[in-house]
Structure 1
Amino acid sequence: MTRRRALLTAAVAAPLVAPARAAQAAGPRRRPPGSELKEILREIDPRRIEATVRRLAAFGTRHTLSAQDDPVRGIGAARDWIHRQLTGHAAASGGRMTVELQSFVQPVSPRVPTPTTITNVIATLRGSVTPERIYVVTGHYDSRATDVLDFTSDAPGADDDASGVAVVLELARVLARRAPEATLVLAAVAGEEQGLYGSDHLAQAYRDAGADIQGMFSNDIVGTGDAHDGSRPAPHTVRLFVEGVPTAETVAEASTRRSVGGENDGPSRQLGRFVGEVAANPQTGMDVRVVWRRDRYLRGSDHVSFLLRGYPAARFTEPRENFAHEHQDVKVVDGVQYGDLVEFCDFGYIARVARVNAATLWSLANAPGTPKGVVIDTTQLTNRTTLRWTLGSEPDLAGYEVLWRETTAADWTDVVAVGKVDTATVDISKDNVQFGVRAVDTSGHRSPAAAPRPSA
């Protein structure tokens, strides 16, 4: 056996001959957090999150079209406050974290009646080993009332989306003093309610720069597990929306997907599986309910901007929304309070969502990158399966694992280590199961899986 090629012999592959029996015993694999991640999760503070949500709501409105030069009210005041908070957190990073205001002028559109400056506030924590590999988390700091063009009425936006911005700021505070191996971007974006404009600009800037973004998460409406409408509360559940068919797939890619049944194996679905493995545990206090959709009906969030550029992305949101508290004027009608008010937020819940994000980000950043160039050999008819991929360059890369599951199974059920190689052959027919490949480092950190495409 050479370093660059592994053939799983009959002795090694014997347990794999009956994958159905192995699947019954294996099940989804949860990865407990290591000591440093446990410390990170303990440091996330609901009181700080509450202070952030209350401060953002106190700006009255954060509508994209509201005042940009008023020091007390409007989106400009919120922008400057967020920038000060992130800059303060970055001061503890020893120079690893930088903060920038990314501004652009949005031309006239149906929800932007005059050219308007939109500004994203971005904290970048540079990776210590593979800084070119990037993971992004956002919350949007703009808000709205019932009329999407009403930029003068109160629009406190406590849940939508001061809660998501509070997650971003708390992650920045806790992670600034750490040195992740890959780069983490923590961004408060604007213009979401008017058409995802801030995240669209951010995603395009990364695409123009050729950035290697291997995962992106939008935190949008993550304020409570209680819908305040008499329905059953779910204070320990967060939804994660992940698309199946890639938004940006080409006609040729669509043809390949249809031929191999790859609807459930796009990069975003693999990201969703990874989150379930690393972030649903007693240390986060949360269950991650993965929803196999790009987003909710009639709605969208900032992850869509990244999906459009071909980046794997997903959206965290609370388990059951109360629509009386979203996109509503602050008012009381027939004894019912409308409006997105602070009193309807659960700060302990937002802290648990922040822990889910932290567990996900830290696990992604300190594992090897997702394998690239993964192909399955389709040049000959055989009941064995050969997979190939590009060998990673991480200095602590230990090797790779080949995973598989029945085509009807939701998650991986079987895995075998194949070593630090770029080719492996297993004694299982590619016609019967779905395969994936993931990387492992010397500390046992595992990357998200990558599904193979057929070889040319």
Structure 2
Amino acid sequence: MKITKRLLIAVVLITSGLSSFAQTTIQRDPEIEKMVKEVNADSLKSYILKMVSYGTRNTLSTQSDPNRGIGAARNWVLQKFNEFAKKSNGRFSAFIDTTTLQPVAGSRVERTVVLGNVVGILKGTDTADKRIFVISGHLDNMRTNVRDSIGDAPGANDDASGCAAVIECARIMTQKGFPATIIFVTVSGEEQGLLGAKFMATKAKSQGWNIEAVLNNDIMGSNNTSETNIIDNTRIRVFSEGLPAYETEKAARNIRQLGLENDGKARQLARYVKEVGERYVDNLEVVMIYRNDRFLRGGDHTSFVEQGYAAVRFTEMNENYYHQHQNVRVENGIQYGDLPEFMDFEYLRKNTAMNLSNLANLAKAPAMPEDVKIETRRLTNYSLLTWAAPKTGKVKGYYILMRETTSAVWQKKIFTTDISYQLPYSKDNYFFAVQSVNESGNESLPVVPTPGR
């Protein structure tokens, strides 16, 4: 067959067109992608059924019965963590961190009780890297009456789902090594007033833990609502605060002056988990909710937020109040109670994988760039950013992030190997940030620049 010059040109054009359609638009770290695939719905189901089997996990329930109550449940979580530790080459260790709560008149703690958080610590492989990333769920649960520590309370979704996510992430991740440290924790006392999280967050602050992110999971394994009967297993909410409550008046004034009410630590973390979670988990949208928590309600991440840490909460898209804080019963033809049959374990698998991908990406990434500044010496329609290399981690380069002031998420990422970059965009119209990135594409949390001259 004779190939004419015209035919050859046509073949080249067709081939070029096909290659453009075949371009990879989502870059996934193969190691993280492999871990995500290991998240197993059957494993998650087995964890939840086991936690439900303890009858009640009320913080005030028995701690001496080996088969019932909060004591038995937390001992089981510790046992699972210790099983994982055997395959971690000494990197993972676990314990129950306890404190004694004294009764307070009119509170949800009516008698002296030992509160225990089950804590698993996966030490970072880089001894110079002091960063810590935390994933949490709350092990305790409640009946309609939070002080009822005797009656059965399954607590399958609230919050065995969050604890199952913590345990499954630990099962997979403790077999790997990460430069930074990861803490897996199932806290107690949430239903009594976020007591276990407050104990841990206060301790972390007093001891100077360098916690860069807290991923709190609470009610994230069911796909259907009460009243409206909406079914949705493709979206999960991430709650994050805007203007930090802990900021001093002077700092708050500076935040308002720079227009950064939407760029606090928690909100930046929320943007990060949306981008990374959707990168690794198919058929899942992470929906940012511009509230610290649900309307007039609270969760364990709040205790960390109040100590100045970046902390967010993951919760299913539409809650079912027939299956939350309810005694198990049938009333007017409606089944009440937080029972396992109302769980969607495939949905829980996706939500767990979203947590894992973020923890892994954060813990593998270099530290955040240092001293990020934007030039304000003169008026210009250009924006000059400068920064210094991170304290730890080997960087391939940096991402400059951009978004319009009305955008919820970062819209553009520009890669550079320099430590300064001039953008032909006005700081009046855009927000900017800088991330460190390594060879495998793992990005640090973004740092918003402060004014510099």
The TM-score with structure 2 as length reference comes to 0.89
Aligned-partner SS, 1:357: helix
Specify the alignment match of 2:391 in structure 1: 393
Instruction: Pick one of 325, 329, 336 that aligns with 2:327.
Output: 329
* Contact 1:126 1:184 survives alignment (8 Å): yes
1:315 maps onto 2:310 in alignment: no
Aligned-partner SS, 1:158: coil
Q: In the TM superposition, what are the counterparts of 1:185-196 in structure 2 within 5 Å?
A: 185-196=183-194
**1:172-210 alpha-carbon deviations (Å, 9 max, x no partner):** 111111112211111011000001111111111211121
**1:122-143 alpha-carbon deviations (Å, 9 max, x no partner):** 1111111354111100010000
**1:206-235 alpha-carbon deviations (Å, 9 max, x no partner):** 111211111111110012112365623111
Specify the alignment match of 1:256 in structure 2: 254
Higher relative contact order (CA 8 A, sep 6+): 1
Specify the alignment match of 1:8 in structure 2: none
Q: Distance in 2 between matches of 1:438 and 1:339?
A: 45
Aligned-partner SS, 2:130: strand
1:117 maps onto 2:101 in alignment: no
**Cα offset for 1:103?**
0.4
**Cα offset for 1:455?**
4.1
Q: Distance in 1 between matches of 2:439 and 2:42?
A: 37
1:141 is aligned with what amino acid? L
Specify the alignment match of 1:67 in structure 2: 62
Specify the alignment match of 1:440 in structure 2: 437
Specify the alignment match of 1:23 in structure 2: none
Specify the alignment match of 1:105 in structure 2: 100
**Cα offset for 1:378?**
3.2
1:47 is aligned with what amino acid? D
Q: Distance in 1 between matches of 2:425 and 2:280?
A: 36
Give 1 or 2 for the bigger CA radius of gyration: 2
Q: In the TM superposition, what are the counterparts of 1:21-60 in structure 2 within 5 Å?
A: 31-60=26-55
* Contact 1:214 1:370 survives alignment (8 Å): no
* Contact 2:29 2:442 survives alignment (8 Å): no
**Cα offset for 1:284?**
4.5
Q: In the TM superposition, what are the counterparts of 1:407-426 in structure 2 within 5 Å?
A: 407-421=405-419, 423-426=420-423
Q: 1:198/1:282 Cα in 2 relative to 1: closer, same or farther (>3 Å)? A: closer
1:89 maps onto 2:87 in alignment: no
Please identify, of 175-184 and 392-401, the stretch whose mean Cα deviation from structure 2 is larger. Answer: 392-401
Aligned-partner SS, 1:101: strand
Residue identity over aligned pairs, in percent, reads 38
**Cα offset for 1:442?**
2.6
**Cα offset for 1:71?**
1.0
1:361 maps onto 2:356 in alignment: no
Q: 1:127/1:420 Cα in 2 relative to 1: closer, same or farther (>3 Å)? A: farther
1:409 is aligned with what amino acid? S
Q: In the TM superposition, what are the counterparts of 1:165-244 in structure 2 within 5 Å?
A: 165-227=163-225, 231-244=229-242
Flag structure 1 segments of 5+ consecutive residues without an equivalent. Answer: 1-28
Q: In the TM superposition, what are the counterparts of 1:262-281 in structure 2 within 5 Å?
A: 262-281=260-279
**1:298-342 alpha-carbon deviations (Å, 9 max, x no partner):** 211111111011111111111111111111111221121111111
Aligned-partner SS, 2:137: strand
**Cα offset for 1:389?**
3.3
**Cα offset for 1:268?**
1.4
1:449 maps onto 2:446 in alignment: yes
**Cα offset for 1:120?**
0.4
Q: 1:364/1:190 Cα in 2 relative to 1: closer, same or farther (>3 Å)? A: same
Q: Distance in 2 between matches of 1:196 and 1:372?
A: 34
Q: Distance in 2 between matches of 1:196 and 1:283?
A: 30
1:302 is aligned with what amino acid? D
Q: 1:155/1:58 Cα in 2 relative to 1: closer, same or farther (>3 Å)? A: same
Q: Distance in 1 between matches of 2:448 and 2:441?
A: 21
The TM-score with structure 1 as length reference comes to 0.89
* Contact 1:371 1:437 survives alignment (8 Å): yes
**1:62-88 alpha-carbon deviations (Å, 9 max, x no partner):** 111111111111111111111101111
Q: 1:247/1:390 Cα in 2 relative to 1: closer, same or farther (>3 Å)? A: farther
* Contact 1:32 1:278 survives alignment (8 Å): no
* Contact 2:137 2:187 survives alignment (8 Å): yes
Count of residue pairs brought into register by the alignment: 427
Specify the alignment match of 1:155 in structure 2: 153
